[in-house]
Amino acid sequence: MPFSSFGLTPALLKVLADQNYTQPYPIQREVIPAILKGKDVLGIAPTGSGKTASYVLPILTNLQGQSEAKNRHARVLVLVPTRELAVQVREVFIVFGSWLPERIKTIAVFGGVSINPQMIGLQGVHVLIATPGRLLELVESNAVHLSEIDTLVLDEADKMLNLGFQEEMNRIIALLPKKRQNLLFSATLNEEIANINQILLHDPVVIKIEEERANLELIEQVGYFVTEEKKGPLLRYIIKKNDLKQVLVFTSSVYKADNVADKLRKNGIDATAIHSKKSQGARTEALSKFKSGQIRVLVATDLLARGIDIESLPHVVNYELPRSPKDYIHRIGRTGRAEAYGEAISFITPEDQHHFKVIQKKMGKWVDMIDSENIDLKGY
Q: Which residues bind ligand AMP (CB under 6 A)?
A: 21, 23-25, 28, 47-53, 309, 311, 337-338
Query: Is the CB of 153 or the CB of 273 nearer to ligand AMP?
Result: 153
Query: Is the CB of 46 or the CB of 233 nearer to ligand AMP?
Result: 46
Query: Is the CB of 50 or the CB of 223 nearer to ligand AMP?
Result: 50
Q: What is the CA radius of gyration of the chain?
A: 22
Query: Is the CB of 15 or the CB of 196 nearer to ligand AMP?
Result: 15
Compute the distance between CA of residue 93 and CA of residue 104 in angstroms, rounded to an integer: 9
Query: Is the CB of 25 or the CB of 328 nearer to ligand AMP?
Result: 25
Backbone angles phi, psi at 362, to 5 degrees: -60, -40
Shortest spacing between CB 369 and ligand AMP, in angstroms? 30
Backbone angles phi, psi at 250, to 5 degrees: -105, 135
- DSSP string covering 262-287, please? HHHHHTT--EEEE-TTS-HHHHHHHH
- 298 SS3 class: strand
Count of CB atoms situated within 10 Å of the CB of 374: 7
Query: Is the CB of 53 or the CB of 63 nearer to ligand AMP?
Result: 53
Nearest Cα residue to 22 out of 30, 13, 31: 13
Amino acid at 303: L
Shortest spacing between CB 311 and ligand AMP, in angstroms? 5
Shortest spacing between CB 20 and ligand AMP, in angstroms? 6
Shortest spacing between CB 307 and ligand AMP, in angstroms? 7
Shortest spacing between CB 262 and ligand AMP, in angstroms? 31
Residues in the chain: 380
Shortest spacing between CB 105 and ligand AMP, in angstroms? 22
Amino acid at 131: T
- Three-point CA angle 345, 271, 257, nearest 5°: 65
